[in-house]
Structure 1
Amino acid sequence: MLNPAFDHYSHEDVRRLIAEYPLAWVLCPGAPAASASLLPMLGTYGEDGALTGLVGHMSRRNPLHALFEREGKAQFLFTGPQGYVSAEHAGRRKWGPTWNYAQARIEADVHIDETLTAQAVARLVSTCEQGREQPWNVAELEERYTGMLGMIIGFEARVTALDATFKLGQDESPDVLEAILASHPDADLREWMEAFNRDRRK
């Protein structure tokens, strides 16, 4: 059984996880595993910051297209920062190695709608191009864009259930935690560990 501390997280933690690691495994409950697909997803949020939905698009040839039209249900599995933590990182030869990670598991009602396609693509491009010196936009495809839109389909998902696990060193003693943060090579994992242990390190 995992430490209960790994189940403590905020709306902002979920938002950050999806924003920084948007590529999710998407599957239809009860469908063959081979129909699962990796798709980039963007979150929508309520006034309180809670995740309320997801927006995405996929090829019309994707098996999920037909499955979602028939079933209207989906699961989204997001994986965030993750990495092996050795006894060497902990500075304790008698300390057992572990694997730190962050993940979110979401169930949702899915609505396929071709009128969402252009909006979903534009939002994803805008999000991913943000911060570039010369952000690309779909208009640069010119007439090719219309043809490409015909081959994909947009969808939105209304969140019905969400649970997440953020196993990021909350169970480590202060000295072991500091040793890991000082020696682990994965900068992203260290940053997330620091964020989830900020109150303990004051």
Structure 2
Amino acid sequence: MYLPEIFEEKNLEKLYQLIQDYPFATLISHSAEGLEANHLPFHLLRDEHSQTTTLVAHIARNNPLHIQIEDGREVLIIFQGEQGYISPNWYPSKQQHHQHVPTWNYQVVHVKGTITFLSDEKALRGILAKLTRTHETKQVTPWKMSDAPSEYIAQELQGIVGIEIQISHITGKFKLSQNRDKIDALGVIDGLQQQGNHCLANAVEQYIED
């Protein structure tokens, strides 16, 4: 990834937060069949005792990924946060010299790590429990695995393979108008707000305040 220093986000807490806020990511792998991309929701696990950070997810057993690559292979996972088009008309300085062109603001986190596939029932139940607890918490009545018949859950578990990725490297690129004068960055915020892209506007505003 092309990464000018001004756009590099080195704060691990901010990178982990983006992963938690935008868990649906692209898993990229390489095998004898070539490059493959799988789109999966991930859950971030941080072990303070061992100082390790892992991502867990699961795929359908019919997905050939767990056959194409073996345990221990390096993979790349891309998480994308807020993003959107930036018009040069939003820069107040454009009216003075017209030396601006369109661009795109965005937040991405690239994670590299080694993959392990899991098939034992205990590990699979653990992965599903973590994912459902995280994503059901916003529901009025959160669904639990125990809500479904145990025989049904056992049958469903036979149709999936767990994924655990131990993170070895993490890189963040937050391109949020840091390279603009404050007056132009404020113009970007106003333009995004008028377009209804409030989340990206808030992200740009946070970087101006920081």
| Misfit runs of 4+, over 4 Å | none
The whole-number CA distance in structure 1 between the counterparts of 2:59 and 2:28 is 13
- Matched-pair identity in %: 26
Which residue identity does 2:197 align to in structure 1? Answer: D
Match of 1:176? 184
Q: What are the ranges of 5 or more consecutive residues in structure 1 without an aligned counterpart?
A: none
- 2:128 equivalent to 1:117: no
| Cα 1:46/1:90, change in 2 over 3 Å | farther
Counterpart position of 1:133:
140
Structure whose alpha-carbon radius of gyration is higher: 2
Q: Which amino acid aligns with 1:154?
A: G
**Contact residue 182 and residue 208 of structure 2 kept, 8 A:** no
User: Does the 8 Å CA contact 2:106/2:176 hold for their aligned counterparts?
Assistant: yes
The residue aligned with 1:192 is: 203
* C-alpha RMSD of the superposition: 2.1
CA distance in 1, matches of 2:143, 2:18: 24
Aligned residue among 157, 163, 173 for 1:149? 157
Q: Could you tell me how far apart the structure 2 residues matched to 1:70 and 1:86 are? A: 45
Q: Alpha-carbon deviation of 1:36?
A: 1.4
Structure 1: how far apart are the matches of 2:183 and 2:146?
A: 54
Q: Where in structure 2 are there 5+ consecutive unaligned residues?
A: none
- The 2-side partners of 1:28 and 1:2 are apart by 22
**Alignment correspondent of 1:61:** 62
TM-score, L = length of structure 2:
0.85
CA distance in 1, matches of 2:156, 2:69: 21
TM-aligned CA deviation for residue 96 of structure 1 = 1.5
Is contact 1:9–1:166 with CA below 8 Å preserved after alignment? no
Match of 2:105 among 100, 108, 130: 100
Q: Determine the C-alpha separation between the residues in 1 that align with 2:58 and 2:6.
A: 35
CA contact (8 A) 1:11 1:51 kept: no
With over 3 angstroms needed to count, the CA separation of the structure-2 counterparts of 1:77 and 1:21, relative to structure 1, is: same
Which residue of structure 2 aligns with residue 160 of structure 1?
A: 168
CA–CA distance in structure 2, aligned partners of residues 2 and 69 of structure 1:
30
CA spacing shift, 1:8–1:97, aligned 2, 3 Å: same
Q: Deviations over 1:4-47 (max 9, x none)?
A: 111133111111111111111112235523x3110111112254
Between the aligned partners of 1:3 and 1:38, the Cα distance in structure 2 is 27
Retained in 1: the 8 A contact 2:24–2:40? yes
